[in-house]
């Protein structure tokens, strides 16, 4: 991608030169090299309900969080394809690790959309600082001079234990009576939040997706981002961060950050199942690998993984081409891509279920790696963005002449 124009307010030592940036292939290989240790740590991570600090440090040292970050803050400004390939590679070994990677690293992309003063607040001293989020519109917002008073409680802030800043959703009251409220995300430092230990779940246990509480914090105007700007491509940060990467629609890039890890986890489940089924002889004396339902389940999962990756790559090739040409894709196409993103985890859940049930009773034991993938994928399906029914109805309605009701596209 194109490098950004440096400003006098940002020390030049933060900017990443082309010689310092690894190739996409090297970054993906670094993620793949982490797979063995992620598998080793998975059980303890689930028990502790958080990805180990060492794992996060290793991902930082490998440069994985910098893939979508602006070059002027030490980032690599790479194609989203690289970001999703890394996420899927991590998920083959541990979907919890891949999940927090996805939702944390995508914030580095969103930061390029905010007023540049926000990036200076976060990365002025250390460009490796990480940012968590919860986009629920739960914030109670009061307009004051220079910004907002902000309070509320949010759930599901994945990876918050590793982050020093957080993006939280809130509705700004309308300026005129009878008007619609304005959805924004509000950027707050760790000192302004309280983390409540609430995350004790059946799957994605190590994501540490705890609740966050804010009590009457002041958030300056420059540390907010309007959803309408993300939809329309008019975010203030685009005046400085001019690479096509940052003209992608916010909704398109974020929803894939919470669905793509399921593809990698299904790949991990399939590899584990093949190792298991290829040599297993059942209690009734039948070789598992010779059973027709087993063969069909393996074939369907393998083909589906390939199809889902191809759709992901095709959609972002189209989105990037539009961004480079400075045009906006039509609403129907954006809704089409949105629905395809939402279908991913549902489809992975169905396919990993087929693998699970064809494992027989031996598949019930917790030492079977397939169990963790099964639980994690089903946990990921519960995310609001991964509910295909919601987005099918809106997309189908638009195709039948109704108005679009979803602007997170």
Report pLDDT digits (tens) over 355-390.
999 987 777 888 888 999 999 999 999 999 999 999
Q: What is the mean pLDDT of the chain?
A: 92
Q: Residue 177, exposed/middle/buried by CB under 10 A (0-12, 13-18, 19+)? A: exposed
Segment 251-286, tens digit of pLDDT: 999 999 999 999 999 999 999 999 887 776 665 567
Q: Which CATH class is domain 131-225?
A: mainly beta
Q: Which residues are within 8 A (CB) of 278 and not within 5 positions of it... i.e. 6 or more apart?
A: 288, 289
Say what the pTM is: 0.93
Q: Which CATH architecture has domain 19-128?
A: Orthogonal Bundle (1.10)
Q: What is the dihedral of CA 58, 62, 63, 64, to 10 degrees?
A: -70
pLDDT confidence bin for 178, thresholds 50/70/90: confident
- Token pair, residue 382, equals 């519960």
Checking DSSP bridges between strand 210-220 and strand 224-226, what pairing results, if any? unpaired
CA-CA-CA-CA torsion sign (293, 299, 303, 305): positive
DSSP-assigned states of every residue in 200-260? --SSSGGG--EEEEEEEEEEEGGGEEEHHHHHHT--GGGGT--SGGGGS-HHHHHHHHTTH
d(CA 74, CA 60) in angstroms, rounded, equals 12
CB 202 within 8 A of CB 374: no
- Token pair, residue 17, equals 């030169």
Structural fold of domain 250-280+288-399 = Butyryl-CoA Dehydrogenase, subunit A; domain 3 (1.20.140)
- Token pair, residue 38, equals 């992620």
pLDDT confidence bin for 222, thresholds 50/70/90: very high
Strand ranges of the sheet holding 210-220, from the earlier edge strand across to the other edge: 194-196, 210-220, 147-157, 131-144, 165-172, 182-189, 224-226
Instruction: Give the start-to-end residue ranges of the domains of the chain.
Output: 19-128, 131-225, 250-280+288-399
d(CA 369, CA 94) in angstroms, rounded, equals 10
């Amino acid at each position: 991608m194109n490098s950004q124009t440096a400003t006098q307010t940002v020390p030049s030592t933060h900017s990443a030169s082309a010689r310092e940036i690894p190739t996409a292939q090297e970054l993906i290989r670094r993620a793949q090299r982490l797979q063995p240790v992620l598998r080793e740590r998975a059980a303890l991570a689930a028990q502790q309900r958080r990805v180990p600090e060492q794992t996060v440090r290793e991902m930082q040292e490998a440069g994985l969080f910098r893939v979508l970050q602006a070059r002027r803050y030490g980032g690599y400004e790479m194609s989203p394809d690289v970001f999703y390939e890394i996420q899927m590679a991590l998920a083959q070994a541990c979907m919890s690790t891949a999940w927090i990677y996805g939702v944390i690293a995508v914030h580095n992309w969103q930061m390029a959309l905010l007023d540049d003063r926000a990036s200076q607040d976060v990365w002025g001293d250390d460009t490796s600082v990480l940012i968590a989020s919860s986009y629920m519109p739960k914030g109670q917002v009061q307009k004051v001079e220079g910004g907002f008073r902000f309070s509320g409680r949010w759930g599901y802030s994945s990876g918050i234990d590793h982050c020093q800043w957080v993006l939280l959703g809130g509705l700004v009251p309308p300026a005129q009576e009878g008007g619609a409220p304005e959805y924004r995300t509000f950027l707050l430092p760790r000192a302004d939040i309280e983390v409540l230990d609430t995350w004790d779940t059946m799957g994605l246990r190590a994501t540490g997706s705890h609740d966050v509480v804010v009590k009457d914090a002041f958030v300056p105007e420059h540390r907010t981002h309007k959803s309408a700007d993300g939809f329309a491509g008019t975010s203030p940060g685009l005046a400085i961060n001019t690479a096509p990467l940052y003209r992608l629609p916010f909704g398109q890039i974020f929803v894939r950050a919470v669905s793509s890890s399921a593809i990698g986890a299904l790949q991990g489940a399939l590899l584990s199942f093949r190792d298991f089924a290829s040599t297993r002889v059942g209690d009734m004396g039948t070789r598992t690998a010779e059973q027709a339902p087993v063969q069909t389940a393996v074939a369907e999962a393998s083909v589906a993984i390939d199809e889902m990756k191809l759709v992901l790559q095709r959609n972002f090739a189209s989105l990037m081409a539009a961004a480079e040409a400075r045009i906006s894709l039509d609403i129907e196409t954006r809704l089409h891509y949105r629905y395809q993103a939402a279908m991913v985890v549902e489809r992975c859940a169905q396919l990993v279920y087929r693998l699970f049930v064809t494992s027989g009773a031996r598949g019930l034991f917790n030492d079977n790696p397939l169990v963790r993938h099964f639980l994690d994928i089903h946990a990921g399906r519960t995310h609001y963005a991964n509910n295909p029914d919601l987005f099918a109805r809106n997309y189908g309605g638009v195709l039948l002449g109704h108005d679009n009701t979803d602007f997170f596209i």
